[in-house]
Amino acid sequence: MASRGGSLGSSSDEDSSMSFREKLLRINLSLGAQDVEGMKFLCMGLVFEKRLERSSSASDLFDLLLEEELLSEDNAFFLAELLYSIRQNSLLRHLGYTRECVEQWLPTRRRLSLFRNLLYELSEAIDSEKLKDMTFLLQDHIPKTQMTSLSLLACLEKQTLIDEDNLRLLEKVFKSVAPNLVKKIENYKRERAAQEAMPPTDRETESLHQGEEEVFSHSDIKQLVQALPEVDVYRMDRKHRGHCVIINNHSFEGLNERTGTHMDAEYLRRVFQWLGFTVHMHHDVTREGMEKILREQRSHPGHADGDCFVFCILTHGKLGAVYSSDKALIPLREITSHFTAQQCQALAHKPKLFFIQACQGEAMHPSVLIEADALNPECVSPSLQGSIPEEADFLLGLATVPGYVSFRHKEKGSWFIQSLCNHLKNLVPRRQDILSILTAVNQDVSQQADASGRKKQMPQPAFTLRKKLVFPVPSEAL
């Protein structure tokens, strides 16, 4: 039986003796400019648009796919899917695939959405006369520049005039210009509805029996897939991503300043704006100021149309609590409780993320340029779970485990926040969920140390999330 990690199908002796890059070069030489534009269009949403725009040839695009880990010598299926989608099936042989093999694997290994494929198919069916008529009908919605059918559809998508759930504008235009294309949209709707109605495990089981040698009986596979938990994902397609609040306390009454915290605050602002959030920054917040911010956010009307809510606190702290700028101690549970479904119905069933850069216990004597965000040392290590409501959809990301300090560089910012922002920037484009990202942050921060090598830190999340939280990939690089 063929390996599932690599390609399927037969390849010629000549192709099998060539290096992988030589095969890619062969494919590159066989593709025209229109083919390249088609593949770039299909890759939208999977790769940063700005990076796609800089790819002027198929080889540029292949390098980009290799860099983004969408293509490798061991698994070239995504490129095979692209070639299949642009109807360059004869080139599949260079990758060891056939058209039949790609069709066999698409139900379980598809990377391109049905919506993306639909738009590409529509673009192919729009000839110059239809394009001219469509441009005339849509002149109030599109710029007055020369457009191809692909660029026209991409423009409508960027302006959110069409999306995978809303094709009414295209249907209206096609009824006047190309009635036969309305059928393609109707077929897409039926196929998408069937795909959503069919559990992923059923689709996977079905593909295992199409042309492969049977290793398990049908009943064995049924029992296996029924034992696997279904993983759901939080919805991320509302009108806006949501609101992100950043509390940045630098100066305190009678306490040390937190030099370097503005580096953290600015990096958080940039990253969450890049992710699509509306960011609210507050500096040196008193106890009264915190209560006002919590009340305002609890009743903010914008939560109703948002996907998610983020609350970041950069301050001094102690076990299970943080300090306001006027040295009032505020329990974390008091902060998070404002956003339960009972207190804030607009955020019910939506993920609520809290990131806390503050110590949670025993302070250590810092070396030069390293400070601890701690006051009133503690020598206990209880669970963090009591800091978040028992109901679902909360995540609390603390810079350190209970009972220990967290470190902040006076010039570069804190270990935890800098690592969090770096990993969000690097792993969101790879479609990593938030818990996987926080695991990477744990690994990164745990490996850091001060100049003496003796002072270490270990972040810790607590959560009641019910689904995977995967942020959509932003259209531009940060």
Question: Which active-site residues does the annotation give?
Answer: 316, 359
H or E stretch covering 414: strand 413-414
Q: Which residues contact 191 (CB under 8 A, 6 or more apart)?
A: 114
Q: Cα–Cα distance between 418 and 357 in angstroms, integer?
A: 10
Q: Are strands 240-248 and 277-283 parallel, antiparallel or unpaired?
A: parallel
H or E stretch covering 119: helix 114-125
Cβ pair 56, 37 in contact under 8 A: no
Q: Is the dihedral of CA 289, 295, 297, 298 positive or negative?
A: positive
Burial class of 342 by CB neighbour count within 10 A (0 to 12, 13 to 18, 19+) = exposed
Distances (CA, A) of 425 to 362, 432, 459, 472: 31, 11, 19, 12
Give the bridge partners for 374, in sequence order.
317
- Choose among 424, 420, 464: nearest CA to 442: 420
Both structure tokens of 440: 């990477």
Residue with tokens 């630098």: 250
9 three-class SS:
coil
Cα 202 versus chain centre, distance: 26
